[in-house]
Amino acid sequence: MRTIDGVRRSGVGIEPQHTIRDAAAIMEQAGVGSLAVIEGDRLVGIVTDRDLVRRGLARGLPADARVDAVMTAPVVTIDADADLHDAFALFRTHALRRLAVVRGEQFVGMVTVDDLLVDLAADLHDLSRPVSAEVLSAHHDSGLPATT
């Protein structure tokens, strides 16, 4: 399975000169918890709702401060056609909750731990169904075949 197949949500990108206030409003309007920061065609950072709080509000930055003052850079990325298990390794190595998915240098979306966990939970449920059915349901033997 390719990494791009694990992307469950649309991505939203803003320019570095957007303000922290703009970023918060866009997250609320778009219903997302993170934004890609894009300069020209190039991904230069990621800003999350947590960044706005911890690096912005908690440090007393004004609401009109630029978003590149609180974004995470450089960005840990994964190629859209990479195996999805490569993303698992990156999540583990970097202790991240989301990865930017790229084609070349172009951002195409985000893959998140939350979405992958939901998918895995659904798969585990499917696999456990025959096992739980065997444990919970009474066995009905068909009986020995007639010999006469």
The site map against another protein for 1-30 (x = CB under 8 A) is ------xxxxxxxx-------x--xx--xx
> SS3 of 80, please?
coil
What does the alpha-carbon distance between residue 92 and residue 21 come to, in Å, rounded to a whole number? 32
- Residue 35 Cβ vs another protein, minimum distance, rounded to whole Å: 8
CB closer to another protein, 12 vs 75:
12
CB closer to another protein, 106 vs 132:
106
Q: Which residues contact 87 (CB under 8 A, 6 or more apart)?
A: 3, 6, 78, 99, 111, 116
What does the alpha-carbon distance between residue 115 and residue 125 come to, in Å, rounded to a whole number? 16
Count of chain residues binding another protein (CB under 8 A): 20
What angle do helix axes 84-94 and 113-136 make, rounded to 10 degrees? Answer: 110
Q: Of 58-97, which residues contact another protein (CB under 8 A)?
A: none
What does the alpha-carbon distance between residue 72 and residue 77 come to, in Å, rounded to a whole number? 12
Q: Is 31 in the site for another protein (CB under 8 A)?
A: yes
Query: Binding residue for another protein (CB under 8 A) from 3, 34, 36, 67?
Result: 36
Interacting residues toward another protein by CB under 8 A: 7-14, 22, 25-26, 29-31, 35-36, 38, 107-109
